[in-house]
Amino acid sequence: MADEAEAAPAEPIDYRAFRGPLPAELRLKRTRSVALVIAFLVFALDQATKWVVAYPLQLEFRRTIEIADFFNLTFVKNNGVSLGLLSADGELGRWLLVAMTAGIAIFVALWLWREKRRDDSTALAFVLGGALGNIVDRTRLGYVLDFADLHFGDWRPFLVFNVGDAAITIGVLLLLVRALLMRDGRAKKKEA
Instruction: Print the domain residue range for 83.
Output: 23-191
* H or E element that contains 122: helix 118-141
- Does residue 8 sit within a domain? no
Distance, in Å, from the CA atom of 32 to the CA atom of 10, rounded to the nearest integer, reads: 31
Distances (CA, A) of 28 to 14, 38, 121, 171: 22, 15, 10, 20
User: Which pLDDT tens digit goes with each residue over 104-162?
Assistant: 999 999 999 999 999 999 999 999 999 999 999 999 999 999 999 999 988 888 889 99
Do the domain assignments include residue 124? yes
* pLDDT value of residue 61: 95
Does 85 reside within a domain? yes
**Residue 173 forms part of a structural domain:** yes
In a domain, 151, yes or no: yes
Query: Which positions are catalytic?
Result: 146, 165
- Evaluate if pTM is beyond 0.85: no
Domain count, the chain: 1
The predicted-structure confidence for 67-114, as pLDDT tens digits, reads as follows: 998 999 999 998 877 555 566 677 888 898 899 999 999 999 999 999
- Cα separation values, 94 from 43, 79, 128, 142, Å: 20, 8, 20, 7
- Produce one character per residue of 95-108: b if its CB has 16 or more CB atoms within 10 Å, e if not: eebbeebeebbeeb
Query: Please, are residues 152 and 70 in contact by the beta-carbon 8 Å criterion?
Result: yes
In a domain, 49, yes or no: yes
Residue 17 lies in a domain: no
Q: How many helices (H) and strands (E) does the chain have?
A: 6, 3
What's residue 103's pLDDT? Answer: 96
Assess if residue 13 is contained within a domain.
Answer: no
